[in-house]
Amino acid sequence: MTVWESARIALRGLRGNTLRSALTMLGIIIGVAAVIILVAFGNGLQRFVADAFGPLANQIQIGKDQGGVGAKDLTDADVRALRDTARAPAIGTVSASVAGSAQLQLAGGGSYRTGISGVEADYLDVSNRELLVGSFFDDRQATGKAKVVVLGPNPVASLFGGQAGEALGRDVRIGRTSFQVVGVLAPNGQQDDVAVMPLGAARSYLLGGGDVVDSVTVRAVSTDAVPQAVEQATAILDQRHGIRDAEDRDFTVTALQSLLDQSSQVLSFVTIFVAAVAGISLVVGSIGVANIMLVTVTERTREIGIRKAIGARRRAILQQFLIEAMVLTGIGGVIGILLGIGISAVAGIVLPQAIPDFPPPSVSVGSVVLAFGVSLLIGLLAGGFPANRAARMRPIDALRHQ
C-alpha cells in the first residue's frame, strides 16, 4: 500500500467520524493558532523597536560617569577634539548638549514645567527628529545665543491646547528670559516633554555651567564604522582626561546599536518563552491524538487481523496508522495556521486604531513552517505507540477479537 492510498483511507476515516475527529483536532488547532498569534505579536514588537531605533544605529552617546570621584566634566574642548577627523576618521558628526528643567510661562496665563535641552544647530539630524511646524535655529542663532525655542508636543498640548500653529511666534517666559517659539517638534513618543533652545542661550540665561556639556552625541560615518568610532572617541577622551586604566574612566561611551541588539535578544527570548507556554496546548492535543488512535486500533482489530492474514506486512500496518495520525494533526495544523493568520490580520487592523502606535503583529513564514512541522511531528509521536501496537498484533489474536 502506497503512502497516498494510506492517506486516502485516513481521510475516509475522518469523514466517517467527523465529530470525534474535530474534537481530537481541537487541541492541535488551538495550540498552533496560539503559537502563530503570539509569535506574530513578538515579531511586530521587534519590528517596531527596529524601526524606531534603526535610524539611530550609528549613534554613540557620550556622558559623564556619575560614579567617579573627582571625575572631570566633558567640555567644549573635548567636543572639538572629537571633531578632529585626522584623529577620528570614523566619526561623522559631533553634537554637544546641556540639560535641565524650567517653568514655561505664557504672558496671558498658563504654565508648564518641562525639560530644557540646550543643543547645537545639527540637533535634528543627530537625534533623527523632525519638525511638525516652523523652523529650527541655525548656526548663527546657536552661537549667537538667540532667544528662540522649539517646543516638544507635550508643552504645546498644555499651553496651546495641542494647536502647533498657535504656538509659532508666541513669546514664552522661561526662567527670567522671554523666548520666541520658532518651531514645534513632531511627536516620537520618547522625548516629547522638552523645550529645545540654542546651547549658548541655555548656558547664558538658564543653566550656566561655562563650557561644560552634559552629553555628546556622536554619529559614525556608517553603521559598520560604529566599533571604530567608539574606539577612537574613547582613545581621544582617555588622552584628554589622563586615563590610563579603563576602570578609572570618568566618562561613558555607549553605542545605541549595542542597546538595540540587547533589546532584540530580550524580545526574542520573551517571544520564544511565551510561544513555548502556548505550546503546552499542543502537548495536551497530542495526548488526545494518542488516545483516539488507541481507540481506532481497538475498533479495527479484526481489520488488522484480516490484512495480516492475507499477507500485509508489519511495516504496512505501521505506516497506515502513522499516516492516519499525521493526517489528523496535519489538518488540525493547517486550520490552526489559517486561524492564527486571520486573527493576527484582524488584530493588525483593529488594535492600532484602538491603541495609537500599537505595533501590528507580523506573521513570519518561519513561524508558519515551524507550526506545520510541529503538528506533523506530534502526529508522528502521538501515533507511534498505537501504530506499533497495531503492527505487533498476531493475526490469530486479532481475528478472535469481537
269-276: long-range pairs with CB below 8 Å, 24+:
270/42, 271/38, 271/39, 271/41, 271/42, 271/43, 271/45, 271/46, 274/38, 274/42, 275/35, 275/38, 275/39, 275/42
Rounded to the nearest 10°, the torsion over CA 233, 239, 245, 246 is -10
pLDDT above 70 for 379:
yes
The mean pLDDT of 278-291, rounded to a whole number, is 82
* Least confident span in 286-290, 345-349, 367-371, 390-394: 390-394
User: pLDDT at position 366, please?
Assistant: 85
Are 206 and 116 in contact by the 8 Å Cβ rule? The answer is: yes
Chain mean pLDDT for the chain: 84
What pLDDT is stored for residue 310 in this prediction?
A: 75
- Does 285 have pLDDT greater than 70? yes
Q: What per-residue confidence (pLDDT) applies to 358? A: 80
Q: Assess contact for 223 and 257: CB atoms under 8 A.
A: yes
27 compared with 184, residue with greater pLDDT: 184
Q: Give the Å distances, CA to CA, from 398 to 177, 340, 391.
A: 99, 43, 11
Who wins on pLDDT, 305 or 116? Answer: 116
Is it the case that residue 337 has pLDDT exceeding 90? Answer: yes
Q: How far apart are the first and last CA of the chain?
A: 26
Quick one: how far is CA 395 from the chain centroid?
Answer: 59
H/E run at residue 88: none
Q: Does the pLDDT at position 390 exceed 80?
A: no
- Exposed/middle/buried for residue 66 (C-beta within 10 Å: 0-12, 13-18, 19+): exposed
Question: In the structure grid, which three cell numbers stand for residue 395, read together?
Answer: 493475526
- Closest by CA to 29, choosing from 275, 348, 281, 280, is 281
pLDDT, residue 196, reads 94
Q: Which of 155-159, 177-181, 187-191, 251-255 has the lowest mean pLDDT?
A: 187-191
pLDDT mean over 241-264: 83
139 vs 90 pLDDT, higher one: 90
Average pLDDT over residues 324-340: 89
Mean pLDDT of 313-339: 84
Beta strand 148-151 pairing with 177-185 = parallel
| Mean pLDDT (whole number) for 10-16 | 67
Min mean pLDDT across 169-183, 248-262, 388-402 is at 388-402
Band (pLDDT 50/70/90 cuts) for residue 114 is very high
Query: Which pLDDT score is estimated for 179?
Result: 94
Number of neighbours of residue 319 by Cβ within 10 angstroms: 18
Shortest CA distance to 185 belongs to which of 105, 119, 140, 103? 119
The whole-number pLDDT of residue 155 equals: 93
pLDDT range class, residue 125, cuts 50, 70, 90: confident
pLDDT per residue as tens digits for the range 200-244: 899 988 887 688 899 999 988 888 898 999 999 999 999 998 888
Residue 259: how many CB atoms within 10 A of its CB? 14
Q: Using the predicted structure, report yes or no on whether residue 104 has a pLDDT greater than 90.
A: yes
Sign of the Cα torsion 263, 268, 273, 275 reads positive
Task: Please state, for a pLDDT cut of 90, what percent of the chain lies above it.
Answer: 26
**Average of per-residue pLDDT across 308-334:** 80
CA–CA separation, 62 vs 73, rounded Å? 11
What are 27-83's pLDDT values in tens digits? 889 889 988 998 898 888 888 877 777 777 888 999 887 665 567 888 999 999 999
